[in-house]
Amino acid sequence: MTDKPKKALVIGGGIAGLTAAWELAQSQVDVELVEKSPFLGGHSISYCCKATDECVKCGACSVDKMLAQVVSEPRINVTLGAAVAKVDKGGKFTASLDVAPAYIDAEKCDNCGECFQEFRNTGAVVRGYSKNNTPLYAICADAAKDVDAAKLAGVCPKGAINLDAKATKKKINADTVVVATGFTPFDATKKPTYGYGVRDNVITGMELEALIRQKGQVVRPTDLNPPAKTAFIQCVGSRDARLGNLWCSQVCCAYGLRMARKIKYANPEAEVKVFYMDIQSIGKNFPAFYTQCKEELGFVRNIPVDVYPEEEGRMRLSYADEDTGERKDEIFDLLVLSIGITPGEDNAQVAELFSLDQDQDGFLVEKGEGVFLAGTAAGPKNIPASMAQAGFAASEALKYIGVTK
């Protein structure tokens, strides 16, 4: 082992970044983990457990577990709310960060949640998804402008809220970099006929994940009742040359079917239909899992296009019946759009900063020396695959900086 610990910079605090940071720290490397949002965990920390009476291997629990490990690892220093403004490479990497104001003092906050209780409806205080987020709450600067500043500052019994906090700058020197900036979920408003953003009971698969995580079960956004009839539309934003997204997102069949079964498990009377073009095999025991799905769920090989409003927040879907070829209308209580993975919206900027390439689809590709990629920044992946690639990136980074046993 070298005398002075080497240092790695990990960009992105989602499951890939967390895993890479953790693995590097296990090899006695000091890690600077930089996350742009106020919370660690990325998209996947909002995902729910999809177990029925048994685990279905979605890996959502792994994210909480890894997050807990990372925040208790002294070799990992986390900077939240930080964007990389500039990177200099002269043998080592020097990253200049713009760090958002820390309106909540992490040292003083004890996660009592009073600020959130008082201000949740205003959007001025938001809560993270994992108890392992510290602080568990953050002030949303934009929404905070519309509330009584003195009241917000005064709500904290520990005096941890400081609305006068200023943005800061920070420089980090590192021997190697792991880029794990993740993906941007497909924007379902780009498929306007589904009425996403217009009709409250049209939600994305990711929103359903968060809903189940928070409520413990599947409920309709409008009335918080379990839906009697739910439709999942697959491949929303994936496998679509019109949108320039000619790839399978590799996660939507898995999460869609797992959550569809969870609905049936909680409420065997509920009806669930899955509209699809090809069901993808994901996971070790997929054939057995899919057999169960076929027993419990309806499958229609036809992608609906039109969604019309009905009474009581229901929606009428129009599609071509497989057997007769005729137009068929069917009414659902909840419509879930299984949205896909698209390249991170700031991938071009990230590529520029860290001397990376982008592939034809816009995902990142390794190019420069000493910069390694992990997770969905490099292409669609599920949680286990992101973790595997993050471990690999860590091992490559260790080789690059010459850390061995």
Partner 1 sequence: MNADKKIIQIATDVLVIGGGTAGVAAALEVAGQGYKVVLTSKEDKVAQEAKDGAVADLTAKAEANANIEIMTNTVAADVKGVPGKFEVTLKTGDAAVEKTFGAIVVATGLTTTVLNDAYGLEMGPKVVSQSELEAMLAEGKLEAGKTVAFLVGFGQEGNPLVMQRVLDSLTALTKVADTDAYVFVGDIKLAADGLDALYAQARQEGVIYFKTKETPQVTVGDAMTISILDPVLRQRVEVQPDLVVVEEAILADEDNAALAVPLEIEADNNGFLQPDNVHYFPVKSTRLGIYLAGASRDLLSFEQGLEDAGNVALEVKKFLGDGNLEVPSNTAFVDVDKCTVCLTCYRCCPHGAIYWDSRAIIAESACQGCGICASECPNDAIQLGDYADDAMAQAVKDGQGSAGKSPWIVAFCCKNSGLEAMKMAKAFGYRVPAGLQAIEVPCAGKIDMDYVMDAFVQGADGVMLLTCHNGNCKSDKGALYASWRAEEIKKMLAAVGMPEDRLVCASLANNMGRTFSEISVELERSIKKAGS
Partner 2 sequence: MAEEVIKLTKKGGSTLKDKVMEILPEGGNLNLCLTCGACSSGCPATGLHDMDPRKFLRMAALGMDEEIKNSPWIWCCSMCQRCIYVCPMKIDIPQLVFNARKTVPREERPKGILASCDMALRSDTCSAMGTNEEDFQFVVEDVLEEYREAQPEFKDMQAPINKEGAYFFLNQNSREPVTEPDEMVPLWKILHLVGADWTYGTKGWAAENYCMFLADDDAWKHIVEVKAKAVDDLGCKVWLNTE
Residues lying near partner 2 in the complex (CB under 8 A) are found at 193, 235, 239-243, 277, 301-306, 318-320, 324-327
How many whole angstroms separate alpha carbon 236 and alpha carbon 339?
5
Nearer to partner 2, 55 or 246 (CB): 246
Cβ neighbors of 65 (< 8 A, separation 6 or more) are none
Residue 71, interface with partner 1 (CB under 8 A)?
no
Nearer to partner 2, 24 or 307 (CB): 307
Q: Are 26 and 389 in contact (CB under 8 A)?
A: no
Selected from 30, 37, 51, 400, the binder of partner 1 by CB under 8 A is 51
Residue 2, interface with partner 1 (CB under 8 A)?
no
Cβ neighbors of 68 (< 8 A, separation 6 or more) are 130, 132
Q: Which stretch binds partner 1 (CB under 8 A): 31-39, 94-102, 151-159, 242-250?
A: 242-250
How many whole angstroms separate alpha carbon 283 and alpha carbon 181?
24
Q: How far is the CB of 404 from partner 1 (least distance, A)?
A: 4
Cα dihedral 245, 199, 128, 380, rounded to 10, equals -10
Closest by alpha carbon to 319, among 273, 278, 280, 279? 273
Cβ neighbors of 311 (< 8 A, separation 6 or more) are none
Residue 111, interface with partner 1 (CB under 8 A)?
yes
CA distances in angstroms from 142 to 66, 147, 151, listed in the order given? 31, 10, 16
Nearer to partner 1, 62 or 204 (CB): 62
Residue 282, interface with partner 1 (CB under 8 A)?
yes
226 binds, among partner 2, partner 1, none (CB under 5 to 8 A by kind): none
Selected from 230, 280, 338, 347, the binder of partner 1 by CB under 8 A is 280
Q: Which residues of 380-392 are buried (b: 16+ CB within 10 A; e: fewer)?
A: bbbbebbbbbbbe
Nearer to partner 2, 65 or 301 (CB): 301
CB atoms within 10 A of CB 225: 11
386 binds, among partner 2, partner 1, none (CB under 5 to 8 A by kind): none
242 binds, among partner 2, partner 1, none (CB under 5 to 8 A by kind): partner 2
Residue 295, interface with partner 1 (CB under 8 A)?
no
Nearer to partner 2, 70 or 252 (CB): 252
Q: How far apart are the first and last CA of the chain?
A: 6
The dihedrals phi and psi of 321, each to the nearest 5 degrees, come to -65, 135
Bridge partners, 99 (sequence order): 82, 168
320 binds, among partner 1, partner 2, none (CB under 5 to 8 A by kind): partner 2
Q: Which stretch binds partner 1 (CB under 8 A): 86-94, 99-107, 176-184, 276-284?
A: 276-284
326 binds, among partner 2, partner 1, none (CB under 5 to 8 A by kind): partner 2
Nearer to partner 1, 308 or 392 (CB): 392
Cβ neighbors of 288 (< 8 A, separation 6 or more) are none
Q: How far is the CB of 137 from partner 1 (least distance, A)?
A: 11
Torsion sign (Cα): 307, 309, 312, 317: negative
Site residues, partner 1 (CB under 8 A): 23, 26-27, 48-49, 51, 53-57, 59-62, 64-65, 68, 111, 113, 117, 127, 130-131, 136, 213-216, 239, 241, 246-248, 250, 253, 278-287, 290, 301, 322-325, 379-380, 384-385, 387-389, 391-396, 398-399, 404-405
